[in-house]
């Protein structure tokens, strides 16, 4: 399978715990995006990487959230001191270079904070 993969698919954690999610983009794609989706809503942009550089962050990304893409390949999204409001589907997408902005999404990581 050469699509975008995410791990874990589901995560249940207690409030106050830290969690980390991983995204592996399509191998030749140098753009990587994180989005968050809550029930009944469309995905909302969180952050964007071009290769290893984090070039844009949303205001939604509080200081409890941090994302990395250390070698320009896979990316991690960490949430510290989780809150119940962090419960959502976290989606990763990737796209290639150039003028094509077509983004391909992974299956998502569903986070439940109890």
Could you list the residues that contact another protein (CB under 8 A)? 4, 6, 31, 33, 35, 40-45, 48, 50, 55-56, 89, 91, 93, 95, 101-108, 110
Nearer to another protein, 41 or 114 (CB): 41
Burial class (CB in 10 A: 0-12, 13-18, 19+), 57: middle
Nearer to another protein, 19 or 23 (CB): 23
**Phi and psi for 86 in degrees, rounded to 5?**
-80, -10
Nearer to another protein, 50 or 80 (CB): 50
User: And the tokens for 69?
Assistant: 């893409």
């Amino acid at each position: 399978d050469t699509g975008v993969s995410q791990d874990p698919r589901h995560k249940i954690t207690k409030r106050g715990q830290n969690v980390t999610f991983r995204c592996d983009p399509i191998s030749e794609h140098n753009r990587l995006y994180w989005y968050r989706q809550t029930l009944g809503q469309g995905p909302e942009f969180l952050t964007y990487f071009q290769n290893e550089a984090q070039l844009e962050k949303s205001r939604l990304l509080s200081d409890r959230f941090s994302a990395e893409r250390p070698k320009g390949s896979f990316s991690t999204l960490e949430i510290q001191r989780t809150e119940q409001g962090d419960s959502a589907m976290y989606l990763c997408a990737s796209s290639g270079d150039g003028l094509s902005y077509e983004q391909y999404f992974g299956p998502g990581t569903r986070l439940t904070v109890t």
